[in-house]
Each structure stands twice: as structure tokens, then as C-alpha cells.
Amino acid sequence: MKKNITVCLFLIIITTLCGKSQNTAADTSWVKNNYQKLETYIVMRDGVRLFTSIYTPKDTSQTYPILMQRTPYSVRPYGSAAYRQRLGPNALLMREKYIFVYQDARGRYKSEGKFREMTPAIADKKSKQDVDESSDTYDTIEWLLKNTKNNGKVGQSGISFPGFYSTASLPNAHPALVAVSPQAPMSDEFIGDDCYHNGAFFLMDNFGFYSGFDGPKSENGESYKPFFNASYNDAYQYFLDFGPLKKANTEAYFSDPNSIWRQTVAHPVYDEFWQSRNIKNHLKNIKPAVLIVGGWFDAEDLYGALKTYSAIEKQSPGNNSRLVMGPWTHGGWASPSWTSFANYQFGADVNKYFQEEIETRFFNFYLKGKGIFSLPEVTVFETGSNQWKNYDIWPPKNSQPTAYYLDANSKLSIAKPTSAKSATTYESDPARPVPYTNVIRGSRNNEYMAEDQRFASRRPDVLTFQTDSLPEDLTLTGEIVANLMVSMTGSDADFIVKVIDVWPANSVLPAVQEGQRPVQMGGYQQMVRAEVLRGKFRNSFSKPEPFVKDKIEKVTVKLNETAHTFKKGHRIMVQVQSSWFPLVDRNPQKFMNIFEADEVDFQKSKITIYHDAKNSSHILLPVLK
């Protein structure tokens, strides 16, 4: 069956999690029996009205805190007699009973006003016309406090885009907003979230998502018509045949010149458009308790969770923020259970622990004054060893950046090369880009973040370097940074760097359920972390620079943090390549605006990675001592 990707996977996840029952089999009847629903418009300071659904417990013997979500994905179902199947971040909190509030964000669905992708925050508001997501949240809370029977305390949570709205509520927060949980929050769409990663355009996700998210709105505001319907079951072939992306800016595809897709591709450098949407710069003097949640296998906003926490820590001394990172995909912590992913078996239901011991306790403690909440500053699940670890700071103090050098004969070692001349060259061909996955499918293969990379290492345009078998366990905890010394025959190139856990020959994972077969893992090249940098941004994301033919230059690729143990007998592998298609668009390997490129602009390039005494390409791994 062909897959329709007019809606990106993270929208599917969010709407599913918001509309489906889980854990205690909560259903619409239970919600109706225990809550009453009110639909209303709340007027913002500039006169714009935002559509809001309010679910209040029918038991009026006590007052309740307010727990809200602001979303661009709709507060549906609409109609005072139509109820959601589940309320709140998890079913435990629903049965605890809160006043649950859902609001269509400004300009989305039934709310008035103009929608802006990641509304720029206004630090110094001079009039009632200076509005942003912080002011909309503030005004909503002010109305709710006056018009519901509440205990005077408000919380907010959300995943992905609603996670951004949660983050955006923090600057100049309403005094009643005391607990906020940004989960997989978007934070900076050019550097690491959703649209671009280090200047490289994430083609497949953006093309599918914006075709449906941003189309014409229905007259009643309850739905959007897609710009177009693109159905295919082989994304690699579809986008290869599609050709240069300038074709997408036509009547057949993104016809509206003011569409978000058009805005996104009109700003291919880190200009004011993107800089003004970087919410991290505004996370100062944060007063509410904050619980930031992210997943190590989140293909969309792994960066957002880690960097939101880091921004609060750096800019808001004395804050009350905590970071939780688990072995999840985008929003996976909200599903009924989570015991495995790809070929990882976690040995327990990590969601039961998170929902019961962390998320529910967090909101109950700060909003109801119930129980205790003594979670350490940082709680991370360490893959490889399958353990929850607690730290006082992130990265932990005993995490030491350790250089592992690329060397001749595909070696990776802590010994710096001594050769006067040593390099490896590969040819990158935009007509035959390296696929990001070995799976043929239309929608994104979410498991690519833990996928076996042998399909890539067998290609001549992918370089591999690996250590000898490890004599003992080695744990990485923190950020990974690759420093490559490179030259090329073209004037631009992408650099994708992967860190891989290579399993010993004859490794087998035992079956964990009756009827399940053991998993053969011998030689498996399990991706641990990977990231891309568009080479022209090697010195500045705002001022791209062409490469000079055959000139050796340093290229630094920052990979997101990790918490992973390479077991004794395993090997650490590093792969380097220059395409990751169609996750990332094709680089013509010519210095130019890629969204204006024609087919003739795409050219082969010979790329050389140096690993000698003078030009020592290496990767800094955060080794836990």
C-alpha cells in the first residue's frame, strides 16, 4: 500500500497521543462521566480571540489546579458534546483530576489572528500590540484564574510544537504558572530542530509536513486542505526523480508564496528570520519549575530538549529545572509502554517509570502540593548498559573529551598519527547519494537512528574508521564533536559523521518474549549518534563561504549528546560521508543557493579526509572516567 506523507510523522504522533486512550484504558465515556466540557473564546490583549476547550472535574468538593496545552494541531473534537478520549499528559494525571485546558494557538484552526511558525519572542513589550506566545499564555492564564474554580496554580506541558509553546511560556511567566514541562521542544529550527540541521535542509520531513500543515483553512476553521497529495512508497527514488527543489515553489506544489515552506526555503542562511525564532536566547530569569523531556532516538527534536535545558542553566542562575532523557523516539514517553526500540531491549517498561515516578509526581507536587518530588538534576537512560543514571550537572563532571584519531587502514585510535602524509579520498556523486536508511519506504524510517550501518560502510563514498576490540566497557556521556581536515574539488559539500557501536562476531540477543526468536547481532554496526553540517557554514551559519579547490580546511561537526556504553569486545566506528538522502536534500557541491539550483549545477566532487601528523582529523568522544 502506498504511504501518504502529506502529514509528517511527528504530527501523526502528536495527534495520536492526544486522541488515543492509554495505560488505564481511559475512554470517552469515562471522561464524560467525570468531566464537564466548556468551549469558549479567550480575548488576548490585542483583541484577538483564541479558541479554548476547558474540561473541569464534575466533583466540586474541592478546587483543582489548571494543566494546559497550547497547540497548532487542533483541540479537536469540536463541539461541547464531543469529548476527548484522554485528558492530560498521561492517564494517571487525568484520574488525579485537574482542570485540563486545550487552546488552538493564534491563527490555527478556530483561533483568530495570524499564525507564525515559532513566533518570535518580544523581550520588551511596549504596547498591547506587542504579542508573542508568552503574552498569549499570560492572558489565557489570567482569564482562567478568574473564570474557573481553581486553586490558583497552573501548569503547562506539550510535545514537539506544543513543547515549544511550553518553553515560550517561561519568559516573563504569569506568577500562577508554577510548573512547565517542555517535551521534545522545538528550539532553533536552523541549527538543530526540524527544518535544518547545521544549515543542511531536512527535505523529506519538511516536504511532507508542510504540504498538509499549512494548506488552505476550511471556512469553519476545523481542518486544512493539503497543498498537494504526494503518494509514494520509495522516498529515495521519489525525491531523486523530483530533481532540484526550485520545482516545489510552483502551482503544482507549494502554490502560496506566503506558505511556511516558501518562508523556510527563502531563508537558507541563519539570518534574522531564524535568529528571532530562537527561543533559547529568551530563557532568562525563569521562575517556574521546569521538567524538560527528550528521547535519544528522537529524529526531530533531540537537539531541542538538550539545548533548552542548557540555555536555562546558563542564562537563569538559581533555576529549578530538570532534564530527563530516555530511550525514546519523538514523544514515545507518552505511549502506553516502551520496552524496546529497533534492536534495543530495555529490560523493563521505561514509560511506567517515567509516567508514575517522574511526570505525575512533578505536576502533583508543584500544582497540588501532593507527595514528594526529589528527582535529581539530570536523569538519563544509558543505552548499551540499560541503566537509568543520575547526575548533578550535564554533562557530568567526570565526562572527559577524549580525542580518537582517524588513521590509515581505516583505524580509529587515541594515538595521534605520525605519518607525514596520509589521507583518504572518496567521490561524492549527487546523482547517486548515500541513503539514510537501508529500508525502502515512503515515510521516514524512525529506526534509522539505531539502524545497522553495514549497508553504508560497503559503499565507496562512505569512509569507515574503527578501533580494535575494546578491552573493557567504555561509556560516552555528553557531546560528541568531530574535527575533520578536508579538501575537495568542488566549492561546497555536506559532511555527515556517525558514531557506531560495532558488535562482535557471533553476538546474539536472546528472545525476551515467548515465541520470539533470538536476534543475530554478529558484526552489527549499530548507529549511536549522527549529524550533518553543510560545509559552507563551517565558519559561520550567517555568512557562508565557498571552499577553495584542493585547499585543506578544518570542518567541525557537532553531534548531539549521548549516554551510551560500548561493551567489552565491541568496537567504536566512525563513518564519514557527504550525502544522507532524502533525509537531507542533495548538495550540488557547488557554492550557491541550493533552492535556486538547476540540474546542471549538481556535480561530482572528490573529497579528501586527512589523517597525518599535521592534519590530524579526529573525533572528541565524551568518555566517562
Cβ proximity of 42 and 140 under 8 Å: yes
Q: How far is CA 174 from the centre of its chain?
A: 27
Indicate the residue among 391, 411, 433 that finishes a domain.
Answer: 391
Do 356 and 481 lie in one domain? The reply is no
% of residues, the chain, pLDDT over 90: 92
Q: Which domain holds residue 296?
A: 3-191+275-391
The pLDDT value recorded for residue 504 is 96
Backbone torsions φ then ψ of 353, nearest 5 degrees: -60, -50
The pLDDT value recorded for residue 27 is 76
Do 116 and 172 lie in one domain? The reply is yes
Residue 212: name the closest of 14, 8, 72, 76 by CA.
8
Cβ proximity of 117 and 164 under 8 Å: no
Is the pLDDT at 237 greater than 90, yes or no? yes
The pLDDT value recorded for residue 420 is 96
Cβ proximity of 579 and 436 under 8 Å: no
Average pLDDT over residues 120-129: 96
Would residue 596 count as lying in a domain? yes
The band of 221, judged by pLDDT with boundaries at 50, 70 and 90, is very high
The band of 11, judged by pLDDT with boundaries at 50, 70 and 90, is very low
Rounded Cα distance between 50 and 161, Å, is 17
The pLDDT value recorded for residue 600 is 98
CATH number at residue 414: 2.60.120.260
Would residue 608 count as lying in a domain? yes
Cβ proximity of 471 and 563 under 8 Å: no
Do 292 and 340 lie in one domain? The reply is yes
C-alpha cell at 184: 521534545
Do 288 and 412 lie in one domain? The reply is no
% of residues, the chain, pLDDT over 70: 95
Residue type, 81: A
Do 428 and 557 lie in one domain? The reply is yes
The pLDDT value recorded for residue 230 is 82
Do 181 and 83 lie in one domain? The reply is yes
151 Cβ contact list (under 8 Å, min separation 6): 63, 64, 65, 367, 368
Average pLDDT over residues 92-110: 97
Q: What is the pTM of this model?
A: 0.94
Would residue 318 count as lying in a domain? yes
The band of 55, judged by pLDDT with boundaries at 50, 70 and 90, is very high
| Range list of β-strands (E), 296-422 | 320-326, 340-341, 344-345, 378-382, 387-391, 399-407, 411-413
Which secondary structure element, helix H or strand E, spans residue 352, and what is its range? helix 350-353
Is the pLDDT at 16 greater than 70, yes or no? no
Do 416 and 381 lie in one domain? The reply is no
CATH number at residue 351: 3.40.50.1820
Do 86 and 169 lie in one domain? The reply is yes
Would residue 522 count as lying in a domain? no
Average pLDDT over residues 334-348: 94
Rounded Cα distance between 169 and 137, Å, is 6
| Burial class of residue 284, CB neighbours in 10 A (0-12, 13-18, 19+) | middle
Do 61 and 183 lie in one domain? The reply is yes
C-alpha cell at 502: 560495532
pLDDT in tens, 166-189: 999 999 999 999 999 999 999 999
3-state SS of 500-516 is EEECCCCCEECCCCCCC
Indicate the residue among 366, 391, 416 that finishes a domain.
Answer: 391
DSSP string of 243-259? -SGGGGSSTTS---TTS
- On the question of a cis peptide bond just before residue 89, with omega within 30 degrees of 0, the verdict is no
Residue type, 63: T
Would residue 239 count as lying in a domain? no
The pLDDT value recorded for residue 509 is 84
DSSP string of 80-145? TT---S--SSSHHHHHH--EEEEEEPTTSTT--S---TT----SS--STT---HHHHHHHHHHHHH
Is the pLDDT at 386 greater than 50, yes or no? yes
C-alpha cell at 474: 567504555
pLDDT in tens, 530-560: 999 999 999 999 999 999 999 999 999 999 9
Is the pLDDT at 13 greater than 70, yes or no? no
Would residue 84 count as lying in a domain? yes
Residue with C-alpha cell 497521543?
A: 17
C-alpha cell at 424: 583518504
Do 366 and 489 lie in one domain? The reply is no
- Number of separate domains in the chain: 2
Round the average pLDDT of the chain to a whole number and report it. Answer: 94
Do 18 and 164 lie in one domain? The reply is yes
Do 40 and 137 lie in one domain? The reply is yes
Would residue 555 count as lying in a domain? yes
pLDDT in tens, 358-376: 999 999 999 999 999 999 9
The pLDDT value recorded for residue 305 is 98
Is the pLDDT at 300 greater than 90, yes or no? yes
Residue 524: name the closest of 344, 339, 326, 298 by CA.
344
The band of 516, judged by pLDDT with boundaries at 50, 70 and 90, is confident
The pLDDT value recorded for residue 152 is 98
Residue 188: name the closest of 64, 284, 281, 294 by CA.
281
Indicate the residue among 391, 411, 427 that finishes a domain.
Answer: 391
Helices then strands (H, E): number in the chain? 13, 29
Would residue 139 count as lying in a domain? yes
pLDDT in tens, 21-31: 333 334 789 99
Backbone torsions φ then ψ of 248, nearest 5 degrees: -70, -20
Give the residues across from 508 on adjacent strands. 520
Is the pLDDT at 400 greater than 90, yes or no? yes
| Burial class of residue 459, CB neighbours in 10 A (0-12, 13-18, 19+) | middle
Is the pLDDT at 56 greater than 80, yes or no? yes
